Structure 1
Amino acid sequence: MSVDVRLDPGRLARLLRLRGGIVERRLAERTRRVADIARAEAPGSMGDYIDWHIEEGRRGLQGVITCDHPATLFVLEGTRPHIIRPRRAKGVLRFEVDGQVAYAKYVRHPGTRANNFLGRALRLGR
């Protein structure tokens, strides 16, 4: 006895791309895992600003991880040495040094080394 099995590639592809299907569930699981690693790798409170979702792109479903912290780009790419000035004219900067409050008209920031915690999370979450 022989059994003839025919697969319709178009139908199979549509079945795999269905919302709530096995591919979306697996993609959501992996995206969530990478987002959790990114939260752990992020400096300071930046991890609180990380979120993820699944969306339909041009090539099918894709997992998207975002970080809405205002300094994200500076952390990911690093900064060159720069001067920090108060926001208001004739204002002063207030900060703490060794537990003492200090004031300054400007500060020479030494810059920061890049910290690509999102890329690192992606590599670790494979």
Structure 2
Amino acid sequence: MSVEVRIEAGRIARLLRARGGIAHRRISQRTERVARIAESEAPGRMGRYISWKVVEAPRGLEGVIVCDHPAVRFVLDGTRPHLIRPRRRNGVLRFEVDGQVVFTRLVRHPGTRANPFLQRALRLGR
């Protein structure tokens, strides 16, 4: 009596990459966990703009976390001191300082320190 076992690498690879497969579920769980941490680490309402997905890449499955808030680059990289002017030629800027409404034509913004909340989430989610 003899037994023959054949291992087909292509089938095993497809099985591992299949939607709902073991690898897909594990990567989904880890990516979702990191995305939830990123949501909590993000400043203000920026966490609402975070989404995640699992994609098939050339080297296998990858978890991708995206923040599509318009100011995310400024938060992640920080900003240097800069001037803020109204968009319209003769317009004014309106904002609140200590509960009082202020109108002005120019603001000298001191800049902001970088807040790498996505990197921090990745480190905390490991």
* Structure 1 length-normalised TM: 0.92
State how far apart, in whole Å, the 2-side matches of 1:52 and 1:63 are. Answer: 7
State how far apart, in whole Å, the 2-side matches of 1:58 and 1:89 are. Answer: 50
* Structure 2 length-normalised TM: 0.92
State how far apart, in whole Å, the 2-side matches of 1:120 and 1:2 are. Answer: 55
Give the residue type in structure 2 aligned to 1:76: L
Instruction: Please give the root-mean-square deviation of Cα atoms over the aligned residues, in Å.
Output: 1.6
What SS is found at the alignment partner of 1:118? helix
Provide the aligned length of Structure 1 versus Structure 2.
126
Query: Aligned runs of 1:53-92 on 2, under 5 Å?
Result: 53-92=53-92
Query: Aligned runs of 1:44-55 on 2, under 5 Å?
Result: 44-55=44-55
- Unaligned runs of 5+ residues in structure 2 are none
- Unaligned runs of 5+ residues in structure 1 are none
| Identity value in percent | 70
- In the TM superposition, residue 2 of structure 1 has moved relative to its aligned partner by 9.0
Give the residue type in structure 2 aligned to 1:37: I
- In the TM superposition, residue 68 of structure 1 has moved relative to its aligned partner by 1.1
State how far apart, in whole Å, the 2-side matches of 1:3 and 1:125 are. Answer: 45
